[in-house]
Amino acid sequence: MTRTYPYYPSWDGKTTQPVTSKLVELTKSRWGLVSLGTYANRPMRSGASLSVHATGYAADLKYKDETQAREIWDWFLSNSKALGLCEMHWYAYGDYGAGYRCSRGEGKAGVKIYTATDNAGSYEGSPNWFHIEMAKQTPEHLQQVWDSIPYP
């Protein structure tokens, strides 16, 4: 059973949503990820529609290296439904990146490996950050779920 992707079409949420701020805080605390941005009322790079960043439910998070990126990617995918992960892009995966979307399935079933001609318009020469979109939920709920998932 797949979940409906909630951010098409996107809208202007006017600010970073509390759950997104909590995601930034949690990923910084666990992995030392650095926020490259959350709310931005702008069109997507690949078209005229609004970016999910405009909703306030997306964050771009910079990681240290590929080893760390693999650990984070696998953890989020393994817990996609519980966390309320809607979409996640790993731009530096392979040659053209990879993207998870909840409407394709949970975990690895929801991943699409990008190619030169099909890369979601996001390939920019292997930048070392994730784009992560979270479902609407309270920051307290995200914290509770985060704390309940075993982590090595």
Higher pLDDT, 67 or 126: 67
* pLDDT of 121 higher than 80: no
Average pLDDT, the chain: 93
- Whether 89 contacts 127, CB under 8 Å: no
Span 33-47, mean pLDDT?
89
What is the pTM for the complete model shown? 0.94
Span 9-37, mean pLDDT?
97
Domain ranges of the chain: 18-148
**106-109: Cβ within 8 A, 24+ apart:** 106/2, 106/3, 106/80, 106/81, 107/77, 107/78, 107/80, 108/77
Burial of 152 (0-12, 13-18, 19+ CB in 10 A): exposed
| Per-residue confidence (pLDDT) for residue 98, from 0 to 100 | 94
Residues 44, 26: Cα–Cα separation, whole Å:
26
* pLDDT of 123 higher than 60: no
